[in-house]
Amino acid sequence: MSVPPPTEQTAGIAQSGPAGDPLAQPDPALTAFWAGQARQLHWERPWAEVLDWSDAPFAQWFSGGRLNVAYNCVDRHVAAGHGEQVAFHWEGEPGDTRTITYADLRREVCRTANALLSLGLTAGDRVAIQLPMIPEAVFAMLACARLGLPHSVVFGGFSPAALRSRIADAEAKLLITADGQYRRGTAVPMKDGTDEATADTPSIEHVLVVRRTGGEVAWTEGRDLWWHELVDAQSDTHEAEAFDAEHPLFILYTSGTTGSPKGILHTSGGYLTQAAYTHRTIFDHRPGDDVYWCTADIGWITGHTYIVYGPLANRATSVLYEGTPNTPHEGRHFEIIQKYGVSLYYTAPTLIRSFMKWGEELPGRYDLSTLRVLGSVGEPINPEAWRWYRKHLGADRTPVVDTWWQTETGAVMISPLPAEADAKPLKPGSAQAPLPGISAAVVNDRGEPVGRGESGYLVLDRPWPAMLRGIWGDEERFRETYWSRFARQGYYFAGDGARYDEDGDLWLLGRVDDVMNVSGHRISTAEVESALVAHPSVAEAAVVGAADATTGQAIVAFVVLRGDAQHDERDDGTDVVGPLRAHVAAEIGPIAKPRQIMVVPELPKTRSGKIMRRLLRDVADNREIGDVTTLADASVMASIQQGLADG
Ligand code: PRX
């Protein structure tokens, strides 16, 4: 058998065990570790049991314990005398700013909570939130957490149809949104879209609207309420009630291998424990000294865990930025780092590659000397981008931590720790090792661990506190998606490929399923395909992720047109392709717009009718076409290539 990976990285805590071991069982060393971390939070009632795994794969962490997540993120710090510490330096895209201390944050969250109570919401009711990156987004999330109302934040760039399906799936009673948002220097309407989304969502009782741009909006009397009228009129005190450690905190939708997004469910005590622990150690965060900036959007898990819950639990001072990185100019991020003296900066490889494109002289024009830890998340970071990041933002001295995790894991799982960087040199492009308390393995098809120098599937072989507690309303899909592949061993299947190098360090290799990663955004091929075939011109569609120098992957679609559309296409190919790209953007959101749509006469299929994406990926990546012997009709690839060459 091959050499098992090393275990020293978890500071005396067991990592992976041999195949066949009932690994789904909790490891007492790991649970004891997490109990120690959980004690750093404020519990109104201590837990009776650290981990109850008797109903696996449904975990219960800290069962019997009671806490209030918002109290832990806000009130606790004010009570300890830190009310005057800045919680957020907010920068609006047009240049407006707002400084929010912990005392301000407490008042705003209390007002918002009182407003939600006045609407008759009670613990357990779901609240949908689609907002730009404005302080009200944080107030809204924390007010929900305070009242035990699971929130479902929907990224601002998602289409009305995408918002509608998320509201419907969670049966949200309230939608919190804005009149509009600033995007690249212009005010863009938002409420038009949310009105379209809520035209057919019977569960929605009210729509609470933040005035951000001042644009004209349509108004439904009795349903729509202005934030500045309802919230601002409320009392700024509210007594937080503690909830069970397993009370649902939020649902966040993410793409899977099939068409409809999955509502990933996270709960309170375990999630907050791991969010706080990872934020504290991965960034070596020092409350009161550091200025921290995570550039994600609150619509993604990174925004939930590393803009809101983790940093606030750790009493961080954060930057919250509304806009895009190149508005009004490409030095915007560097300007903000300089302005606030940002010391901890967390972003995605796709942005680093954009910085590289914009030129190294740009960061050189700003004082970035306050930076002391740089983080990366969302996709594998290529070594060139890693080195550039460290050189041009980190003066070739700061640690760069490559953090691997997922919406489902809730918080970081695999990452180097800056505090250990002296003892264990960082490796550009490698996430290196599971964090203390976390156990992971790379296994082959049969679920057996691979050795050094080998690759396989990444699995998580012990429960962890921030793990998802299910897919909203779909227990079967939860079991099937994550726990069926290595059911015998009881492993969580992450959907990523990984490799151990000769030192036993982990390298993440990207998805092994039909999920694409475009600029760190997860989009399923099936989702884009179903949007395409919903268009009247399209008979069939196949979508693949092609390599892209900036976005990591880019969406490339192959479509077979219906008979009448084929006729139009012959006159001018752009007639069909332009509207199809726009159609996908309208169905899902601009992030899902294919970079390229190729009109082909047929799709390559096996004899059993399965589309051979591998061959289409070869075309999309401009590679030599691989083995075509399993095709039902071997001439299909030739005709596709011929057609593309003629086109
Ligand atoms: O493929 C992995 C990739 O992003 C996926 C998770 O996407 P999502 O749930 O949207 O969460 C993104 C933010 C945590 C993973 O399955 N991924 C994320 N971080 C890394 C990564 N791939 C390689 N290295 C990373 N650091």
List, for residues 206-254, the tens digit of each pLDDT value.
Answer: 999 999 999 999 999 999 999 999 999 999 999 999 999 999 999 999 9
pLDDT of residue 567: 55
pLDDT of residue 17: 39
Distance 463 CA to ligand 1 centre (A): 19
pLDDT tens-digit readout, 510-523: 999 889 999 989 99
Distance 184 CA to ligand 1 centre (A): 26
Q: Whose CA is nearest to atom 3 of ligand 1?
A: 379
Distance CA 352, CA 188 (A): 27
ipTM above 0.95, yes or no: yes
Distance 407 CA to ligand 1 centre (A): 8
Dihedral over Cα of 473, 514, 609, 443: its sign: negative
- Residue 204 φ/ψ, nearest 5 degrees: -70, 120
Ligand 1 residue neighbourhood (C-beta within 6 Å): 254, 301-302, 377-380, 402-407, 431, 494-496, 508, 510-511, 517, 522
Distance CA 230, CA 303 (A): 26
Which atom of ligand 1 is closest in space to residue 509's alpha carbon? 23
Residue 339's Cβ-side half-sphere holds a number of Cα atoms within 13 Å equal to 16
CATH 3.30.300.30 location in the chain: 519-646
Tokens matching residue 101: 């201390």
CA distances from 577 to 76, 404, 574, 590 (A): 55, 36, 5, 15
pLDDT of residue 1: 32
Q: Whose CA is nearest to atom 8 of ligand 1?
A: 406
Topology of the domain covering 519-646: GMP Synthetase; Chain A, domain 3 (3.30.300)
CA distances from 374 to 220, 360, 394 (A): 46, 17, 7
Closest residue by Cα to residue 329 from 361, 367, 357, 362? 362
Tokens matching residue 237: 């005190």
Residue with tokens 């929010």, as numbered in its chain: 100
Residue numbers of the chain with a pLDDT score lower than 70: 1-24, 259, 565-574, 647
Q: How open is the CA angle 127-129-133, to the nearest 5 degrees?
A: 150
Which atom of ligand 1 is closest in space to residue 414's alpha carbon? 26
Which atom of ligand 1 is closest in space to residue 494's alpha carbon? 16
pLDDT tens-digit readout, 120-141: 999 999 999 999 999 999 999 9
pLDDT of residue 137: 98
- Residue 265 φ/ψ, nearest 5 degrees: -100, 130
Q: Are strands 291-294 and 317-321 parallel, antiparallel or unpaired?
A: parallel
473 C-beta neighbours (distance < 10 Å), count:
14
Q: Which residues make up each annotated binding site for Mg(2+)?
A: 533, 535, 538
pLDDT of residue 571: 52
Distance CA 542, CA 254 (A): 20
In a 3-state reduction of DSSP, which class is residue 31?
Answer: helix
pLDDT of residue 2: 37
Distance 346 CA to ligand 1 centre (A): 14
Q: Which residue out of 406, 481, 513 has the highest number of ligand 1 atoms within 8 Å of its CB and is therefore the one to mutate?
A: 406
Distance 498 CA to ligand 1 centre (A): 12
Distance 224 CA to ligand 1 centre (A): 37
Distance 495 CA to ligand 1 centre (A): 10
Q: Whose CA is nearest to atom 5 of ligand 1?
A: 406
Which atom of ligand 1 is closest in space to residue 515's alpha carbon? 1
Closest residue by Cα to residue 271 from 412, 165, 447, 386? 412
Q: Which residues make up each annotated binding site for CoA?
A: 183-186, 302, 326, 519
